[in-house]
Every structure is written in structure tokens, then in C-alpha cells.
Structure 1
Amino acid sequence: MQAAAWGGMAEGHSVLAILPIFHGFGLGVCVNAAFMAGGKSILVPMFSAEIVAKLLRTKRPNLLVGVPTLYEALARAPSLSKADLSCLRATFSGADTLPRPVKERFEKLVAERGSRVKLLEGYGLTEAVTAIMAMPLTEYREGSIGIPFPDMLAKICRVGTEEALAPGEEGEICVSGPAVMLGYLDDPEATRATLRVHADGRTWLHTGDLGKMDADGFFYFTVRLKRMIKSSGFNVYPAQIEAVLYQHPLIAEACVVGVPDLAQMERVHAFVVLKDLAQANPDTETQLIEHCRARLIKWSCPREIEFRAELPKTRVGKIDYKVLVQEHTAQHDNQGYAG
């Protein structure tokens, strides 16, 4: 009900269910929320930009919820360049960091096609079943994932502790409320590590996500703790580097990971898909690295860029960075640490 109210859904409205409904995000937001509001859920048989573009034209949904890669693909879909998109009342991106260039390209498309909708961010995780916070339709703060839904609580704690931090300080996002899971099936140790009773007597879910909260209570996601790259003692955030890569006109998709390095512990390795695959060559690699060096500190710049025809995706449609790390590791297994 909260997701429906947040998205302004009412009787007669429809949501395009792009996300798989075996996933909490897809089931909770794209199906249950629509039905609770008396609306309609339009099921997408298979994820592809072509199918989604066709359904946008023919079924004219009012609410669109997806991952950043979907919005990037839609912004580049030729079939939408002349479509009437005035039906869209709200669009939300979740499950991964939304690069600013992707947001801008999608908003430019819908503005040209008759809608004033803004692409806003939300936040949720499997352990809390569905979306638990989002940017209000009437607000926008650069990079913010919004504020918690009315019956959910959130705070920032010092990593590894239950100590709440002041606004502006970076720590682990913790949430509490009815959406939080009861625990992991047959894994009491993991449950104890993730669900902790704090001094206020509430059970808090330690998400494993780094973020901040501003003075007005708006939250900002930084990075999954497991994705943080440690390079020469510095914390390096993949999403920051990916956002810079997306600013380059040659880039269609990008994913940044940390790989072992004898001198730096980890170094930054970028996987990219170019809009024109024929430009995948050493000169382009140099150009992209120089693009990053002009905008990032030394430790955050990719040491190498690996061109791919496509990047692996999870079933939700996110770029699967874990598969890329596994593939890189397998490829370099016989070499040990790179120098």
C-alpha cells in the first residue's frame, strides 16, 4: 500500500511489470502495489528494450519501475523516438546506482515525447522484501534514494557497530519495520549478524550498504560494502567511476571492479560496452582512461579497460559484477597477482 501511495497509483492506473515477479522488488512494487491500489499490472514476458518499448506504445502504462540498464536501453530505443509517452505519471529506478547521464538521457526522451515525469531513485533489498524508501514525486535531491516509507525507520550506523552517526557522516544503512525479514532460512549465524536488537529495543537490519543521511532525513547510497575497492589504502567507489565513464559519448554500458594487484592490493578494472563495437581498440582505451584521469583522483582511475560485446545481467536486469570478477579471476588464475 505504501509503494502504491508513494507512486501516486489509483484505481484504473497501470504499472509495467518489467522486473521478474519471483523477486521481492518485482512482486511487491509491480504486482502487489498495483492490486492494492485497484490498478492493473502489465506483465512483461521477457526482458528486452524492444518488448518494453512496444508495451509503452501499445499499453500506455502510468508507472514504470526498473533498473538503470533498462532506462539506458529505452533512451536509445529507436522505436520510442516518435512515441507518445504522455501516459507516464511516475518512473523509479532501483536495485543499482543510477548514473546521472542515464537519468538525463531518459528524461530528455520523455520530455520530448509529451511527459514531464522525472526519473527518481528508490531503495530496497531482499531482506526487507520490497522497496522501503524512495524519493517523493514532488522532491528531487541529487543522488538521493529518498526517505523511508511511513512505517519504516532508517538510520546510519558506524560500520560493525550499533552506534548511530550524525547527518553527513558515512556509515552502514540500517532499517527497521514490518518489511524486515524474520531471518535467513536455516542460517542462524547469518541471521544474528544481520538482524540486531539495538538499545531502543527495535530489531534493525544491517544492510551491508554504505550511505549517508542529510540534515533533512534524505538518504544517499554510496556502495555495497562488498563492492568497495581498496586501492593503496584508499576507498574507491565503483559507482563514482561508472558515472564518469557514462559521461563519455562512446559508452553504452560500464561496470567497474577491483582486481588483485601486488603494489596496490587492488586496482581498478573497467568493463565497457561501446555504442559502436568497431571502436574497441587501444586508442579508445587510452582515450577513456584519460577521460577518467581528468575527472577522478589517481587511485580511482581505471588501470585498464576491457571491451565486451555485452555485459552479463542478473535476472532483475542489473549488470552482474560478480560474474565479471569470476571471469577475470579464471582468466588470470595461472598468473597469480598481477604486477
Structure 2
Amino acid sequence: MSKLCSGRVVIVTGAARGIGRAHALAFAAEGGHVVVNDYGVGLDGSGASSGPADDVVAEIEAAGGSAVANTDDVASWDGAARLVETAVQTFGRLDVLVNNAGFLRDRMLVTMAEEEWDAVVRVHLKGHFATVHHAAAHWRAAAKSGTLPDARVINTSSGAGLLGSVGQGNYSAAKAGIVGLTLVASAELARYGVTVNAIAPAARTRMTEQTFASTMAAPDGGFDAMAPENVSPLVVWLGSAESRDVTGRVFEVDGGRICLTEGWRPGPTATKSARWSPAELTPVVKGLMAQANPPLPVYGTS
């Protein structure tokens, strides 16, 4: 029986642990050739090691799959280029890019250092842009040579990017930026046969062990709703040929739940045929707010 991603070449960033590892294993199980990218750093971005990526490659190969390790820093311009080159040189092409890599440096805004802001925005937001840029250049060249790709990008946002999260201003801003990047990339890359979507997952990983501390242990014999493996089936499907008509979308996914989110769109409106004056806007704005749906709470405020 043909597997969903048979022969497709897939890059997964941050693939040595947690959700990224689950993605890599799931793509390999569905017949994909997987580039297991991981810089091998700690939760705060410190240190580097090739061991974690090598371990996942060994796991895939032991199960009969096909994989290669890559330890480049995805937020490095040259590193992102080498990552794409690894896929092309090893497997002959690139079909799917899954951007997953990231780390945390949580702090309230009033105490957050500039370096803590820059480091998180760099790895999450620039790390997505750099890999998308180099993958897109590969696909554009293929399209111009007469071979239209059937390619996919799956980016990783977060509920923190959709709603905000107290103590995570850097992370929330980067993850919100990834949604914007996803929308632009989906519009710009469609001509090259590329779809671009994003997920906002919730699962038990190194990054969320404090958030989900009360659900760290799987229930005896029951469904482990916080297992990172629950996120991967949707990502594998988005990476397959079956998803070619889905682009520019953001999905929340956790446990057995998949939610297609609906982002910013015009709501209640007030108009007049002249410029508003500040003095008259109190009842106007209050009237608009009375007609609108209340915003969902920021994580950590309730």
C-alpha cells in the first residue's frame, strides 16, 4: 500500500526532541526522506551538539526509514542555505519544509533584556524566514526550468502568537510574526507550486513542561492528549500531495482536536463623509466595542 508521503523529501527543523522529533518520525513512517535538523542546544538556546539529531536519524533508519542529520543554525543565513543544500544533495530535491525550531527566554517585559528579546525573535522569526527564503529560491529555480514543484511549507506559530501570553512578549511577538509571514509566503509562492500553512500546537515538550505540569504523565491505558505525536498527523497531511488546495491557513492542533482558525477581519464599522474629530470619538468607539465579540483572554491573565 502506498504511503502518504512516499518519496517526498522533507526538512524538519528542531527535529531532535519533542514535536519536531515526532514530525520526523511520522514523515519517515509515511515514506518520506527526512532531513533531521537540530542545532542541539538547550532550552534557552545555549550549547550545541550533533548527538540529538544523529539519534533521531538512527531511530528512523532502525525502523527502515531514510534520513540524514543536519546541525546548522536555521537563523544563520548561510546555515539555512546549507540546510536546503543538504536535502538537495542527499535526496535530489526538496518537497516539504517544516519549520519547528525554537527556544524560550521568558520574562516580563519590564525586566526583559534586549538580548533575550533578540535571541528569541532571531531563532523563531528569522529562523522561519531564512529557511523559507532558501527553499523558495530552490523551488523558483525548478519552476523556471520547466518543472513546477508540488511543494509545502508548514510553519509553527503558537496560541501565544494568536492570543498573547504573559511573560512571553518576545515569544508571542515572534509567533504572531510567523502567522504574518505565512500569509505573505502563501500569496507569493503559489506561482511556484508551493503551499504555505501554519500550525499552533499544544503538547508536552521541554518548552511547555511548566505550562502542562499537571498533565505530564499519560493516563493509564488512556489517550495522552498532551503527547507531541498528536500534532504530527496534521503536519504530515499538510506535507502530502493531498493538501495542494490548502494554503494561507492556520490550524490549532492538540490532542484529538484540529481547529481551523479565523484571523483578523473587518468587524463593526462606523463611517462618515468627513474627518473624525477626537472629541466625538468616545461614543463612536464605545458603540463599536459594544457590537463586537469580546476578545479572548491573553494566556496567563485568568
**Shared fold by TM > 0.5?**
no
Looking at secondary structure, tell me which structure has more helix per residue.
2
Looking at secondary structure, tell me which structure has more strand per residue.
1
Which structure's relative contact order is higher, taking Cα pairs within 8 Å and 6+ residues apart?
A: 2
Classify the TM-score, shorter chain.
Answer: 0.3 to 0.5
